[in-house]
Amino acid sequence: MKTIFSEKLPRILKNKKRLEKKLNIKITNRGKEVHISGQPEDEYLAEKVIDALNFGFPFSSAISIKEENLEFEILNIKDYTTRKDLERIRARIIGKNGKTLKTLCQLTKCNFEIKDNQVGIIGPPECIENAQESVISLIKGSKQANVYAYLEKHQPKPVLDLGLKDAL
């Protein structure tokens, strides 16, 4: 049984039935603590999904962690800069009218969410590394155009399925 402290408890309780059904777990809560019980691997995935919901991702993006075998990572902006004007750094990541964030989503095939001084990323394991590098580059002050060029040049190669995955 795992326990997670949740700031956005209403979001989890609203989707409780769907979460329990899709993740094969049982969810109970006491105050702001959410208790998850089930098989260990189901608990691990449920913890990732609930963390993503707490971070601010929509339900569809959070549940895709289980359904599509995606990864969820959090980058702390303060870990990569010593600057004090964090609003300006967040603005660089978001871009004008959210344009930079949309472009990053398209180039990396990942979903991004910004909360306080953290950037949440949900995406395929082979794309997460590029997404992290691009956000870190923006935090450190690289131009958006240079980050886009880097991402276009370093697209992950598609994994060829030789029909072996189903056999396992």
Question: In this predicted model, what pLDDT tens digit does every residue of 38-82 receive, in sequence order?
Answer: 998 999 999 999 999 999 999 999 999 988 889 999 999 999 999
Q: Which CATH class is domain 2-67?
A: alpha beta
What amino acid is encoded at 38 in this protein? G
Domain ranges of the chain: 2-67, 71-153
Asked if CATH classification 3.30.1370.10 holds for the domain at 71-153, the reply, yes or no, is yes
pLDDT band at 156 (very low <50, low <70, confident <90, very high): confident
Q: Which two tokens stand for residue 66?
A: 């289980």
What pLDDT is attached to residue 165?
61
Q: pTM to 2 decimals?
A: 0.85
Helix or strand holding residue 35 (H, E):
strand 33-38
3-state secondary structure of 42: helix
pLDDT score of 167: 53
Query: Would you state the structure tokens that stand for residue 129, as one six-digit string?
Result: 């590394």
Tell me whether domains 2-67 and 71-153 share a fold. Answer: yes
Q: CA 65, CA 41: separation in Å to the nearest integer?
A: 13
